[in-house]
A = this chain, B = another copy of it.
Amino acid sequence: MSITQTQIAAKLGVSQPAVAFALSDTPQALRQLSTETRELIIQTAQQMGYVPHRAAQRLSRARSDNRAASFDQAGFIYLGGAEQDIDSICLTMMQGVENELSKLHASLTFVRVCEPGDWKKVERLMRGSGVDGWLLVGRVNDEVVDRLNSAPLNGIPYVILGDHRCTRPVHSVNVDHHAVGRLAVEHLASLGHRRIAILKGGTDFVYQRQILEGFRAARKELGLEDEERLAAHASIWMDPRNGGMKITDSAIGWLKQNGLLPTAMFIPEPGSAIDFDPVLKQWEVEVPRSMSVVGCGFTPSRAAGQNSTFVEWPIAEVGHQGALLLHRIAAEQNAASVELKIPPSLVKGWSTGPCNMEPAK
């Protein structure tokens, strides 16, 4: 069924190891064979559709563990009960990871860990030499990291994707949420807006706090109005059962009645901005004429709203970089801890425009 090195060797009348050397990149291989033979072998292998037997490769490599060369199996640990609506973010990250791994001819094993007993699965995979490195997504904290650092799980490198709550030094890749808040403000400020509100979904989660920080820092630096009541009273209600966010229209009413209506609003919860339009209409606020709105979103299919302006979270890129980082630290035994932040980008749409009005006093 599948082609083996031995079959190729037989066809060309060379030894099986000769084929192995021709197909490897080790410095030794180059002098083992004439360039001519090497080329011939490579060509033949290709046209016969040769693909190395994964299990055989892994087993063989077990002899002399060359950590650099033997990275071909990553594990994706989804730690359930996560903060935030992690599902679609998680899948998008996985796609980014898988995409990058496939270029390295490595594959991705999915493991879900929800209760303590589930760590047995991780341990089993590790003991059976089934995985060369872990990617962690979800509820990652010191307890999880301690588990991975100590016997019997230690020795396998890991990288955390997305938000986490670890205090120990770890390798991680995440969206630069600080920059998310900053980017929204900068865009709106460039359009002339000076009274910019943020519609928070809460401050419980790491990303929420980081976005808020970035938002405030940028607003301060640019000398914009810093009306705390704008943030305090406009809040997004989050329904944990649904994973969705709803805007409390009472917040808008309050702002309007108190003459605090901003000329621009930033809605950081991904996909929430689209809910906003009908609520605003109800209060006779027209987007973008009387108010600009910047939302958040990720991946083409999950934008904040139909062609509206939003800050795009580079979730897939987090996956890509996570895979690359894991591959790197799997090779270099003890690399210094890396916390990578991927910058978001602004996608301009119809929901933002120049500031036409003086903010209501």
Contact = CB atoms under 8 A, between A and B. Distances in A.
A328 interface: no
Nearest to A88: B87
Nearest to A59: B55
A64 interface: no
A181 to B, nearest CB: 22
Contacts of A278: 246
Interface in A243-301: 243-244, 246, 271, 274, 278, 301
Contacts of A246: 278
Interface residues of A, number: 61
Nearest to A3: B127
B98 A112 contact: yes
Q: How many copies does the complex hold?
A: 2
Contacts of A111: 98, 102, 107
A220 interface: no
Nearest to A282: B282
Contact of A129 (B53, B80, B95, B129): B53
Contact of A109 (B2, B78, B80, B107): B107
21 contacts: A2-B129, A3-B127, A52-B128, A54-B58, A55-B57, A56-B59, A56-B62, A78-B91, A90-B91, A94-B110, A95-B112, A98-B111, A105-B124, A107-B109, A107-B130, A108-B110, A239-B305, A241-B302, A242-B305, A243-B271, A246-B278
